[in-house]
Chain A
């Protein structure tokens, strides 16, 4: 299990691993929005939480199809399925590796990009907290979508269409936490729902993903 996590991280970090892809996309989006919307601080501050959350979500989506497709193509997935490691654990570890290489860097750079979008000072804490709670759900839900489409050539479009509706609750509650927190309102409800979605996804979806992987490997 540890070996699989280390291998996935190593593969992501080496040349051609696609580590910087999501991060670069997030960066480009946050730089381009002020250019497109105009430089008024008030407007930007208003839309900043939503833009940052949408950016993080799309950046996650960009690298989803790599989770299983590469291992499927070179035969590693067949071999992992016959290894003495439960497939549910393989799925969870690969989702964790995806989060460490995609979600976590997004959380870490989000304050810097908040600066570009004139995010109000009191929002930074809520932004980091909501992304930290929400992005694991994006990786786990995404790994389920990737497992569903693993046998398909060019399955990226279908994957996006399958996964996007499942991402919407996380996006809604995540952005809600930041905007309510910024206005000094209570954030208990959206925060609890955001954490609940993540906890539920992490607990249940690996079983579903492992099941559809077994069917796709037949």
Chain B
């Protein structure tokens, strides 16, 4: 079980933003994606998660193995913390949400409606969802936004525990997560050259 990305080119809005991205992620490994705003971190993660097609290159991963966490947490405001997690646990076919609630320090908030949570608490709930998916490869897009330093440390501990169980993590972030063992990939080295005018063809404007 490895995630193998080979010579990948991905596009946003019809224009290539990254080309020639290659890396391999083995069980127990984490890869931190770095690069300036707009360099294509989110695009790369969405492509690997299967939400958009790549232009060229290959992504080799076992099917249904990637859990994706975006900027938006997919939280329903009128459902409680437990109900939100329960829904994702049932959708992904895993049994219990209790462990995830404890690991992300949500026990005291378990029965609160999600609309009463603060931004950082919502983030913790969004990250707890990763634990209930039961999937080995985590693709995380700026997971620490609005988390305080204690919660960042808590989250780093959760990622480390996931890696120790043979999981993998692909994390786009700007801050130091406190995961010294993780490899770092600077995406600014893979910036795509803009195609020549009109190379995309007429249809491209409508896709």
Contacts and interface: CB of A to CB of B under 8 A. Distances in A.
B79 interface: yes
A2 B91 CA distance: 8
Interface in B50-88: 50-53, 64, 66-68, 70-76, 78-79, 83, 86-88
Interface string A74-99: 11101111111100000000000000
A84 B83 CA distance: 19
Contact of B66 (A11, A14, A82, A85): A82
Interface in B89-138: 90-93, 129
26 contacts: A2-B90, A4-B87, A7-B76, A7-B87, A10-B83, A11-B78, A11-B79, A14-B79, A15-B78, A74-B72, A74-B75, A75-B70, A75-B71, A75-B73, A79-B68, A79-B74, A80-B91, A82-B50, A82-B51, A82-B68, A83-B91, A84-B64, A84-B92, A215-B207, A217-B52, A218-B51
B87 to A, nearest CB: 5
Contacts, number: 67
A38 interface: no
A71 B78 CA distance: 13
A3 interface: yes
A7 B70 CA distance: 21
Contacts of A85: 91
A11 B91 contact: no
Interface residues of B, number: 28
Contacts of A39: none
Contacts of A217: 51-52
A10 B79 contact: yes
A17 to B, nearest CB: 7
Interface of A: 2-4, 7, 10-11, 14-17, 71, 73-76, 78-85, 215, 217-218
B73 A74 contact: yes
Contacts of B66: 82
B50 A16 contact: no
Contact of B72 (A75, A81, A83): A75
B33 interface: no
A78 B91 contact: no
Contacts of B83: 10
B49 interface: yes
